[in-house]
Amino acid sequence: MKKNGFTLIELLAVIIVLAIIALIATPIIFNVIENAKLKSLENSTYGVVDAVRMQYMENLMNSADGTVDLSGDVKDITVSGEQPIAGTWEITNAANVADGGRGIKVTGVQFKSMEKYTCANDLTTGKVTCAK
């Protein structure tokens, strides 16, 4: 008599193999998701830097006496994408790199989607980093 189908031992072996694969793959998948979220936050922070640059230029062109604010709160800036909920920006005009150099510096930038993280940029390299 010939039996068709799987034995209980064979089914348990398959379930154990699938469980091991799931145990290995789950942390990797969570790391990929976390890294994607961090990259998204970094890109949003680059958007904040660009928005500050645009606001500065618009205010400079519309200023009667040629003066504009050189610092402010990032939540007051209009950005495309997610609006930041915290952080500050500052435009520095230091003459040399030892004094910080020239450019736009954003610090403590937070977004509602991931409030545990704050983002900032490096004034000399322009690179944005986000950390818990």
Token duo for residue 56: 């500065």
Query: Scanning the structure block, which residue is given the tokens 């990929």?
Result: 32
> For residue range 96-111, what is the model confidence (pLDDT) as tens digits?
555 556 788 899 999 9
Contacts of 46 (CB under 8 A, 6+ apart): 121, 128
**DSSP conformation class of 52:** H
Phi then psi for residue 69, to 5 deg, are -65, 140
7 token code pair: 């034995």
pLDDT tens-digit map of 58-84: 888 888 877 777 888 988 888 888 899
CB atoms within 10 A of CB 108: 13
pLDDT in tens, 120-132: 998 888 899 999 8
Residues with Cβ within 8 Å of residue 70, at least 6 apart in sequence? 90, 91, 92, 93
pTM across the whole model: 0.76
